[in-house]
Each structure stands twice: as structure tokens, then as C-alpha cells.
């Protein structure tokens, strides 16, 4: 998978050299390009923001640097004909098992005004060949940037959750970690991917390792029983109890 990131803080993404994703980059499973938005400005001060039309607090990111940066990554493209189904953008929703029917990159703007990022969305995006992230700062990016690229390809606004970050960088880092680990080969043991929170709609069961007793707390005896049927049943029960207690909102959505 190719991933491009446009940001005014490219150093934020230095940590993608580390750990599993760093290995995935070294082995060529993930090809990452981090681009400084200021390199796409033409004025002496590398200006990326200006005051908002209509007034109000804060600054808005100017459209021209974004246009320059994104054209260089995506290629300047003609407006797509909405009547032509081959070029009509289809919002990605629903069936995560299906390969995307559309071609071309997906442009993602992290935004608290976007669709909620979920494990299902991470799965869908992990099937893509090319993701491009545009990290906004200040009070956001001039709306025409989103409008322009929406007329030419697939664009999504994606939110991490209902709280405010100073910019999209940390959100994009979280998304890349969630998406990247679902790319085949990135996580060494694929079995470890399926028994996790949210993959089956439930939170994960609690885990234990040696010693069997620690500070007066014992490992649940069933886990030491060697009875794999009983262990499975116990773990499922724990998942259901935990989800009902902590995240009752997830309960109706779970499968099986």
C-alpha cells in the first residue's frame, strides 16, 4: 500500500520508522511519503493560513498550497462526469470483506466533522492501494479544497471521536496504525488479529500469563484446566459480560 501524508509538521511522522509499521516499510509492504505543505507555497514566508471570510476566531488554511501539494501527489485531474458510473465516486460503507470496486487513491481529511473512524472502516481502507491524508491545522482547510477533489475522485472526512485535537496529525497516526496492521504480512501472526476487541463486535476477553498467582490474585482456574471447550466458552462469556458492562451500545451490533 502507498500512503502519502501532507502536513506542516512532517516530523510528527518520524515515529512511523518504529515497531511493526517500521518493519512493514522496510519490507516494502507499506510505501510512505510525508510531504511538507510549506514546500507547496510560493511566497517568501511559506504562508499556509489566512483570516476567515466572514470573521471569527482563528485562521483557515489557504487553498492554493493544498491544491499544489495534492495535484503533485494525485496528478491534476479533470472533473469527473457524475453520469459516468466508471468515474463516479462511491462512498465506502458496509461490506468490509469486499475489495473496493473503485480505483484511484482515496483522499482522507481528518476532521472532527467527519464520519467516525471504526475497525470496519480500517478494514475497508486496508484493502486500498493508495491512501492520501491531508492534515489540517488551525480552524481547518478552506472548504473548496474538499469540494474540488470531491468532484474528481474519492474524498472522505474522518473523525477519531467526539473530542477536539489541535490538528489532524495525531488522528492520522492512529488511523495509519489501525489500517497498517490489517495489511497482510504486517502483523506476524494473523490469528492475533481476529481475537481482538471490535473485530467480532465485542470487546476482547481478559488475558493472563505466568505466574499463576501474583500478589494474591490467581489466574482463573479454567484457563489452567486444559479444557479447550471450557476455555472458549469462558472467554466468550467474558467478552459478553465486559461489553454489556462497558459498552452496552455495541451489543445490538455484534455478530453471532
Residues near ligand 6GU (CB under 6 A), total: 13
| Closest CB 12 distance from ligand 6GU, rounded Å | 13
By CB atoms closer than 10 A (0-12, 13-18, 19+), residue 124 is: buried
* Assigned C-alpha cell, 249: 451500545
Q: Which of 100, 112, 127, 199 binds ligand 6GU (CB under 6 A)?
A: 112
Collapse the DSSP code of 117 into the 3-class scheme (helix H, G, I; strand E, B; otherwise coil) and give the result: coil
Positive or negative CA dihedral for 205, 206, 210, 216? negative
Q: Which of 161, 185, 206, 220 binds ligand 6GU (CB under 6 A)?
A: 161
CA distance 165 to 186: 28
Nearer to ligand 6GU, 58 or 190 (CB): 58
| Closest CB 67 distance from ligand 6GU, rounded Å | 21
Could you tell me how many residues make up the chain? Answer: 256
Q: Are 132 and 66 in contact (CB under 8 A)?
A: no
Q: Confirm whether residue 205 is marked as ligand binding.
A: no
CA distance 107 to 154: 6
Q: Which of 111, 126, 239, 243 binds ligand 6GU (CB under 6 A)?
A: 111
Part in contact with ligand 6GU (CB under 6 A); list of ranges 90-98, 164-172, 187-195, 218-226: 164-172
Q: Are 30 and 183 in contact (CB under 8 A)?
A: yes
Nearer to ligand 6GU, 10 or 114 (CB): 114
CA distance 38 to 12: 15
Work out whether 160 is an interface residue with ligand 6GU (CB under 6 A): yes
Q: Which of 42, 86, 163, 216 binds ligand 6GU (CB under 6 A)?
A: 163
**What is the footprint of ligand 6GU within residues 51-110 (CB under 6 A)?**
110
Closest CA to 109 of 182, 175, 30: 175
By the criterion CB under 6 A, which residues form the site for ligand 6GU? 110-112, 158-161, 163-165, 167-168, 171
Tell me the binding residues for S-adenosyl-L-methionine.
136, 160-165
Amino acid at each position: 500500500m502507498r500512503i502519502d501524508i501532507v502536513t506542516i509538521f512532517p516530523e510528527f511522522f518520524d515515529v512511523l520508522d518504529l515497531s511493526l509499521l517500521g518493519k512493514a516499510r522496510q519490507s516494502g509492504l507499506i510505501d510512505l511519503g510525508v510531504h511538507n505543505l510549506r514546500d507547496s507555497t510560493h511566497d517568501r514566508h511559506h504562508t499556509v493560513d489566512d483570516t476567515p471570510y466572514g470573521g471569527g476566531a482563528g485562521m483557515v488554511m489557504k487553498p492554493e498550497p493544498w491544491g499544489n501539494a495534492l495535484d503533485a501527489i494525485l496528478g491534476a485531474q479533470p472533473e469527473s462526469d457524475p453520469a459516468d458510473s466508471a468515474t463516479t465516486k462511491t462512498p465506502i460503507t458496509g461490506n468490509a470483506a469486499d475489495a473496493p470496486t473503485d480505483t484511484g487513491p482515496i483522499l482522507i481529511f481528518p476532521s472532527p466533522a467527519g464520519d467516525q473512524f471504526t475497525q470496519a472502516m480500517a478494514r475497508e481502507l486496508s484493502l486500498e492501494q493508495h491512501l492520501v491524508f491531508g492534515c489540517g491545522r488551525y480552524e481547518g482547510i478552506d472548504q473548496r479544497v474538499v469540494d474540488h477533489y470531491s468532484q474528481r475522485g474519492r474524498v472522505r472526512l474522518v473523525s477519531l471521536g467526539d473530542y477536539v485535537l489541535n490538528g489532524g496529525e495525531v488522528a492520522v497516526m492512529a488511523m495509519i496504525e489501525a489500517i497498517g496492521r490489517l495489511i497482510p504480512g504486517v502483523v506476524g501472526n494473523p490469528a492475533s488479529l481476529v481475537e481482538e476487541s471490535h473485530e467480532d463486535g465485542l470487546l476482547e476477553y481478559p488475558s493472563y500469563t505466568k505466574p499463576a498467582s501474583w500478589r494474591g490474585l490467581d489466574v482463573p482456574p479454567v484457563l489452567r484446566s486444559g479444557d479447550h471447550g471450557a476455555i472458549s466458552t469462558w472467554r466468550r462469556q467474558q467478552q459478553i459480560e465486559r461489553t454489556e458492562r462497558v459498552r452496552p451500545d455495541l451489543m445490538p451490533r455484534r455478530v453471532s
